[in-house]
Structure 1
Amino acid sequence: MRKWGVCWMVAGLLLWPVCVGAESTRQGDKDVTVLDPVVVTAGRMEENRSDVSNNLTVITTDQIEQSAARDLGELLGQQGFMIREYINSLSTIQIRGFSTDTYGEELNGYVLILIDGRRSGTGDLSKIMLDNIERVEIIRGPGSVQYGASATGGVINIITKKGYDGTHCFAEGTLGSWGYHKASAGASGTLKDFDFSFSASTESQDDYDTAQGEVYRNTGYDAKDRISMSAGWTFLPNHHFGLTYSDYQGDGVGNPGYFSQNDLDDYGDHGLRSVDAVYDGQTDDGSFIWKLRYFDGREKYEVYDPTLSYFRETDQKGAQAQLTAKWTRVDVTAGFDWLNYAIENTYSSGDNTYDSPAAFILLKTKFLDEKLILSFGGRHDWYSIESDQGERIDETNWSTSFGAVYKITPAWRIRTNYAEAFKMPTPDQLFMYNDYGPIWGIWAGNQDLDPETSQTYEVGMDYATRFFSASLTYFTTDFEDKISYTYIPADNLTQYENVEGATISGIEGTLDFDIGTWFDWSFKLAPYLSFTHLFEYRDEEDDQDLQYTPEWTASCGLRLTYREIGLISHLNVTYTSKQDITDYEGTGETTLGSYTVADLTASKDLLSFGEYGNLALKAAIRNLFDKDYATIQGYPMPGRSFYVGLKYEY
């Protein structure tokens, strides 16, 4: 009964503004606007957000700049997603009970991270810089039809900044608690037929204190250096060729282990590099649009220990080709993807390879004066997975999706969606055979493993006016053939196997109310709320709640924007309920407690140089109330932290 009470309560909140505003909506009142107009993630081509049947979250440039986040993981944590962070290093996200991989391996995750519509090559959000991001789009729910394997829980598409009219530049310096300092600079613009964008930053930090006032040693890092640059050439009307390069290097990143067993000499070096070449074009009337892309990258993860060090390098390359035909009532996008991974680690004698061509088709059609939008998607993936010893597995997969949107009024719509997703076994899960000694024993792969699969159903409704927006989505996922492992005592051997999966269902909701716009004030004052509540998240194998899966995650806060005096401020509060865990630390605890964390940021213009830009003072307090909490057992997060900086923009 409790879960239905929650449903009716939130539904009432959503329907109230609809009922109150229905008359003005029919009359074309100036307050009514449709949802944010353009997104690119859902259908691989630009389309109106109101035409998308998935539950979609968009984090704008303003929201990124108003946050206290230093990387993508911290940014998404402030949006109400569950984030697990291994102290300034590895950062994972969970969407609808599915997560990126703990150690950042893209192929072993269930949430896919994209950069401008292509795979980023990592599942570690701490490697993604924020300085050159225009916006972030998040599909909550499967994205395998559009992007292939490892997209069971959702897809995060990072849209980088591109050059536009004029020349724009910035320089920023920040100092903070625990010896933190960061310097960043960037520029973007156009020169006749050429466009460019560039951003670079460097930062470092010493060991931090927990909220209990104790130094957590070996939690600092020597340097985190990031660079992102793009250049493009419009060589004919509607034809554009672009090159993009990005690089992240984390050097001397502390690897402290559990606070109770603080390790002082382990550290890691991490890296992520990529190069893209993209050609976009379309006919003069826009009836045909095409894209060709080739990309190449490398993800590096190394941990140094006096007794046992480990490294992993993943070389990734791929290509995308797609064509969209736009007719009166039907849009069709068809194309081809190709991905190749070469993975080498401490325990392999060469590369484990993962090769995957795929073909897809996405169709969208409109009826009833474009009030009803129906969509269909299908994708066929071929996989060849080969070990460093020459063992090989070939497999195929077909994924399907269906969606519908009905626009009841310009402000109110309902939607439903069905989508399938899958994850292929990794080379390690298929072929590995490693003897880790007397403690861990032998771990072995299993060449008879089946792909993990899922089917997700969802239904939702959205309401949006000039000053108010709300959304509610119900979803349920049937997850099958989960890849786990079993221990065989007689052989001291642990082997991968397919086991029963899980059923995960819940609701997601958002509310955003701009009080300033409602009262026609000269400034914006906007409270907001975002939450996910899971009704069911049972592991069918042992009939227990899924581990590392909270029942509730939420964020709420208040945004103040007063352009006339150059003041912007943002208070954000996040909540994560308790979750069941495995007690690897050996404390006897089997749950990780709930935690509520608040962050406060503010920016105030100090000097205006007219046409030559302005200088602003920025400040932030993270963990405002000095909360003692951990996102992972035994790894307490920093106590209250202060940051202050100057930013010049032109």
Structure 2
Amino acid sequence: MKRKYQLKPIAACLLILPAAAMAQSGQVSTLSPVQVTPDTFTSKERAQATSDFVIEADAIRRSPATNLSELLIEQGFAVEATPTDHGENTLVLRGFHTEHLMTEVNGKLLILIDGRRSGVANIRQIALSNVERVEVLRGPDMFRYSMGSPGGVINVVTRKGGPERFGGSIRMGYGSFDTQRIGIDLHGKVDDFDYLVGYERGRVARDYKDGEGEKVHNTKTDGTERLNFNLGYTFGERHRISVDGYHYKVDAAHRPSYVDEEGEIRDANYTDRETQLFYLNYDGSSQDGHLSWNANIGQGKDVYETWSGNLYPKGQKVSTDRAQGSLSYTSSRFDLTGGVDYIKYDVENSSSARGAFLQKGGRDPEWAGKGFPMHPTSETTQWGAYMVGTLKLMEGALNLSGGLRYEYVRAKDKAVGDEHYDRVPYFSSRGITSRDQLPTKRSFSHVSPTLGVSYLPTEWLKLRANYTQGWRAPSGRQLFASSFYEDYGAPGDPRLSPEFTKAFEAGFDIAHEHWRLSATYFRYDVKDNIYIYPGVREDGTGAQGRVMMNVDKRIQEGFEVQASANVAPLLGYSSVELRPYFNVTHMTRKDEVVREGGPGMLGAWWPITRVPDTTMSYGVRFHHPASQFSGNLNFSYYGKQYGGRANVTDGPLVGFGRFTVANLSLRKRLWGSDVSNSLDVKLDINNLFDRQYSYLGKVPDDAYAYPGRSFYLSMIYNF
């Protein structure tokens, strides 16, 4: 066991004192002031009746994060993160999760790229090299995309082509555990044609060590690559046709494993993954700018396969077709937007309900030891239409917002007739003796409202409140899945009901020239929550195995606070930015009951699993223009949470969490003063104080430890 150093988080501030000291140089008086946050709300912010959270480009640039998962953790969001690319990185927002089972349609949150469904459930898949900002959308903004994400929608806004000249950047880096990455971005504009292309490839060639200095076996990744492009043509000054695409691929991301007494590595499997998106887009506006419209069609593919030397390969392929369009009118008195959207998910899986028969030595004469190949299992189709608007009164001091969204969902079981299709054993205890007793098609529809108000008694203070009804139909996979792998050991139930959520939030925002403060109270009452749960017998005694089921009631309640301030002007340094920040989400209640008023275990209220009671991010961002030196010191606190339940009679597993991880990022311009023809060096130090921790369970009883202190040094040439 290596020696541990107990350092106070405040001591880390010593690492950034040189930046503040530079502000005392004689050059400061000749510099232009650092750009600061506007001292009033923008017109968009004034009208918003929900909490507004945006991660701007500057914060992304100064972050050590390389993907969306790491960035959201740094900003104080809860993420069930894996340290490598082998598994899912599930975002938790106010108690709601992105999809745990690799399929976007099953999730309670949506991840958008440029306002369109990404098809991505694993937030680690989204790189940050060409991201302008990340937005959290709720209320009317959420209704533009889905009413099944009442906790919020994450929208990743990427850069477009331009400016006039040809430019770009090349970056190369090397770090701990033999981590290597290289990337290139190209952008420009020729007459009316603009373009942007980005590519990145990396690998982790050695297993990492945890905060105790112990090696975590089988944690390297053979290769990861990301490609994105956006090609556009503008005509008539106000019309643009474009194509854009996104490609993500992981080659053999190894899963953390253990070594037995004989020194053999056990559970040594790895994951291959590939995601592709392609869109054709059209955007236009009227000459006066009041009217605007857009339309797009696209296709996507997401493939996930896990390989092991001891078991059959298993995986999933999801193909999607999607389209959407909208028309908006804006004026000084009101804004109005209407739109339609469509998406279809076709799911294939490589295992079936008789998956145990397929292992080596299994009883299946044809497929034993080989694995059952990809075959269609379910189909889910969604149509939606919405109308949202804002009425601006008292010269914009009072804003009334609202809207309606209609959704129609159709799901189909495509595994009927498959020789390995057999769901009956899982339902025999509930009186189901034949497949013919279970439906193979389901359809659902619903209309939900959203209502909000924002009021500005002064130019620097905004009061707001919003009520939104959320609704989400069960997906084809949740209804009809028949394999162990399709749903992690829980078969689908064709009799599931849709979820219904009542969402309410209220809060205030303060905007000042040098500081911002926001606070929000929220409460969600969920009826018939669709969840993988240890089943309970009708008399409320004992477990009945894991099943996909409707949980009667679920309550998620808490508050959020965000604050930041540039304190440098208060110290007399107008040309330096020194900005402490603080973001916290605290759950005051997170409980659920399988059947309220039911006998025994059925009527007991349980803590919601996989939701930390508190997540908090705090730190300091700094920037010294004279020396072109900037950085970010960040502390991320992850509160207590409960793991999943192996047996409902055991109650929640032992809680874990309550740890803080510190990261430091420093960036320095080596030569060149303009954006082009310059060279930067960037140093990222993750887990600065070598903390032993895990987002998945208690170490070492329930989960493997995450990487200890690691370094990554990169060079960025801008041209």
The 8 Å contact of residues 33 and 411 in structure 1, kept in 2 or not, is answered as no
Among candidates 62, 65, 70, match of residue 66 of structure 2:
70
In 2 relative to 1, CA 258–286 (structure 1 residues): closer, same or farther, beyond 3 Å? farther
In 2 relative to 1, CA 209–279 (structure 1 residues): closer, same or farther, beyond 3 Å? same
Q: 1:502-541 to 2 correspondence within 5 Å?
A: 502-518=554-570, 519-541=572-594
Q: Which residue of 2 aligns with 1:8?
A: none
Q: Which residue of 1 aligns with 2:424?
A: none
How far apart are residue 179 of structure 1 and its match? 0.5
How far apart are residue 514 of structure 1 and its match? 0.1
Unpaired segments ≥5 residues, structure 1: 1-29, 38-46
Q: 1:294-305 to 2 correspondence within 5 Å?
A: 294-305=297-308
CA displacement 1:44-64 (0-9 Å, x = unmatched): xxx622321111211111111
Cα distance between partner residues in 1 of 2:245 and 2:712: 30
Residue 466 (structure 1) aligned with residue 465 (structure 2): no
3-state SS of paired residue (2:144): helix
Q: Which residue of 1 aligns with 2:368?
A: none
How far apart are residue 529 of structure 1 and its match? 0.4
Cα distance between partner residues in 1 of 2:504 and 2:140: 10
Q: 1:496-645 to 2 correspondence within 5 Å?
A: 496-518=548-570, 519-541=572-594, 542-582=604-644, 590-608=654-672, 612-633=676-697, 634-645=703-714
Q: Which residue of 2 aligns with 1:315?
A: 319
Among candidates 327, 333, 343, match of residue 339 of structure 1:
343
In 2 relative to 1, CA 365–74 (structure 1 residues): closer, same or farther, beyond 3 Å? same
The 8 Å contact of residues 335 and 359 in structure 1, kept in 2 or not, is answered as yes
Q: Which residue of 1 aligns with 2:452?
A: 403
Q: Which residue of 1 aligns with 2:270?
A: 267
In 2 relative to 1, CA 140–95 (structure 1 residues): closer, same or farther, beyond 3 Å? farther
The 8 Å contact of residues 41 and 459 in structure 2, kept in 1 or not, is answered as no
In 2 relative to 1, CA 160–35 (structure 1 residues): closer, same or farther, beyond 3 Å? farther
In 2 relative to 1, CA 183–435 (structure 1 residues): closer, same or farther, beyond 3 Å? closer
The 8 Å contact of residues 219 and 253 in structure 2, kept in 1 or not, is answered as yes
How far apart are residue 164 of structure 1 and its match? 2.9
TM-score normalised by L of structure 2: 0.80
Cα distance between partner residues in 2 of 1:363 and 1:502: 30
Query: Which is worse superposed, 348-357 or 525-534?
Result: 348-357
The 8 Å contact of residues 298 and 315 in structure 1, kept in 2 or not, is answered as yes
The 8 Å contact of residues 690 and 709 in structure 2, kept in 1 or not, is answered as yes
Q: Which residue of 2 aligns with 1:55?
A: 51
Q: Which residue of 2 aligns with 1:455?
A: 502
The 8 Å contact of residues 175 and 181 in structure 1, kept in 2 or not, is answered as yes
How far apart are residue 525 of structure 1 and its match? 0.5
The 8 Å contact of residues 145 and 420 in structure 1, kept in 2 or not, is answered as no
Taking only the aligned residue pairs, the percentage that are identical comes to 29
CA displacement 1:589-630 (0-9 Å, x = unmatched): 611131100000101111117685211111011000000000
Q: Which residue of 2 aligns with 1:426?
A: 475
How far apart are residue 430 of structure 1 and its match? 1.2
Structure of higher CA gyration radius:
2
Q: 1:212-223 to 2 correspondence within 5 Å?
A: 212-223=212-223
In 2 relative to 1, CA 322–258 (structure 1 residues): closer, same or farther, beyond 3 Å? farther
In 2 relative to 1, CA 316–258 (structure 1 residues): closer, same or farther, beyond 3 Å? farther
Instruction: Say how many residue pairs are matched.
Output: 607
How far apart are residue 477 of structure 1 and its match? 0.7
The 8 Å contact of residues 551 and 592 in structure 2, kept in 1 or not, is answered as no
How far apart are residue 471 of structure 1 and its match? 0.3
How far apart are residue 538 of structure 1 and its match? 1.2
How far apart are residue 71 of structure 1 and its match? 0.8
Q: 1:149-548 to 2 correspondence within 5 Å?
A: 149-166=147-164, 167-205=166-204, 206-257=206-257, 263=266, 265-306=268-309, 307-347=311-351, 349-389=375-415, 391-434=440-483, 443-484=490-531, 485-487=533-535, 494-518=546-570, 519-541=572-594, 542-548=604-610
In 2 relative to 1, CA 434–613 (structure 1 residues): closer, same or farther, beyond 3 Å? closer
Q: Which amino acid aligns with 2:713?
A: V
The 8 Å contact of residues 144 and 150 in structure 1, kept in 2 or not, is answered as no
In 2 relative to 1, CA 290–68 (structure 1 residues): closer, same or farther, beyond 3 Å? same
3-state SS of paired residue (2:52): strand
Cα distance between partner residues in 1 of 2:718 and 2:621: 22
Cα distance between partner residues in 1 of 2:140 and 2:80: 21
Cα distance between partner residues in 1 of 2:523 and 2:715: 46
Cα distance between partner residues in 1 of 2:391 and 2:401: 6
Query: Which is worse superposed, 503-512 or 320-329?
Result: 320-329
CA displacement 1:111-138 (0-9 Å, x = unmatched): 1100001111021011111111111101
TM-score normalised by L of structure 1: 0.89
How far apart are residue 31 of structure 1 and its match? 9.2
CA displacement 1:348-387 (0-9 Å, x = unmatched): 6425111111111011111111111111111111111011
The 8 Å contact of residues 321 and 335 in structure 1, kept in 2 or not, is answered as yes
The 8 Å contact of residues 288 and 326 in structure 1, kept in 2 or not, is answered as yes
Q: Which residue of 1 aligns with 2:24?
A: none
Q: Which residue of 1 aligns with 2:419?
A: none
Q: Which amino acid aligns with 2:717?
A: Y
How far apart are residue 322 of structure 1 and its match? 1.0
How far apart are residue 465 of structure 1 and its match? 1.4
Q: Which amino acid aligns with 1:350?
A: P
Cα distance between partner residues in 2 of 1:148 and 1:609: 45
Cα distance between partner residues in 2 of 1:264 and 1:181: 26
Cα distance between partner residues in 2 of 1:392 and 1:359: 23
The 8 Å contact of residues 522 and 562 in structure 1, kept in 2 or not, is answered as yes
How far apart are residue 517 of structure 1 and its match? 3.4
Query: Which is worse superposed, 341-350 or 53-62?
Result: 341-350
Cα distance between partner residues in 2 of 1:272 and 1:617: 31
The 8 Å contact of residues 31 and 465 in structure 1, kept in 2 or not, is answered as no
The 8 Å contact of residues 257 and 268 in structure 2, kept in 1 or not, is answered as no
In 2 relative to 1, CA 635–362 (structure 1 residues): closer, same or farther, beyond 3 Å? same
The 8 Å contact of residues 133 and 157 in structure 2, kept in 1 or not, is answered as yes
Q: Which amino acid aligns with 2:405?
A: R
The 8 Å contact of residues 405 and 416 in structure 1, kept in 2 or not, is answered as yes
Q: 1:17-36 to 2 correspondence within 5 Å?
A: 33-34=38-39
The 8 Å contact of residues 99 and 111 in structure 1, kept in 2 or not, is answered as yes
Q: Which amino acid aligns with 1:631?
A: Y
3-state SS of paired residue (1:369): helix
Query: Which is worse superposed, 142-151 or 477-486?
Result: 142-151
In 2 relative to 1, CA 580–284 (structure 1 residues): closer, same or farther, beyond 3 Å? same
Cα distance between partner residues in 1 of 2:645 and 2:331: 57
Cα distance between partner residues in 1 of 2:134 and 2:73: 13
CA displacement 1:381-407 (0-9 Å, x = unmatched): 111101114621111021211111112
Q: Which amino acid aligns with 1:55?
A: S
How far apart are residue 421 of structure 1 and its match? 1.4
Q: Which amino acid aligns with 2:100?
A: T
The 8 Å contact of residues 228 and 246 in structure 1, kept in 2 or not, is answered as yes
Q: Alignment RMSD, CA only? A: 2.5
Cα distance between partner residues in 2 of 1:400 and 1:612: 49
How far apart are residue 149 of structure 1 and its match? 4.9
In 2 relative to 1, CA 338–611 (structure 1 residues): closer, same or farther, beyond 3 Å? closer
How far apart are residue 75 of structure 1 and its match? 0.5
Q: Which residue of 1 aligns with 2:359?
A: none
In 2 relative to 1, CA 56–327 (structure 1 residues): closer, same or farther, beyond 3 Å? closer
The 8 Å contact of residues 143 and 421 in structure 1, kept in 2 or not, is answered as no
Cα distance between partner residues in 2 of 1:170 and 1:363: 41
In 2 relative to 1, CA 383–231 (structure 1 residues): closer, same or farther, beyond 3 Å? same
3-state SS of paired residue (1:86): coil
In 2 relative to 1, CA 31–298 (structure 1 residues): closer, same or farther, beyond 3 Å? closer
Larger relative contact order (CA 8 Å, sep ≥ 6): 2
The 8 Å contact of residues 137 and 156 in structure 1, kept in 2 or not, is answered as yes
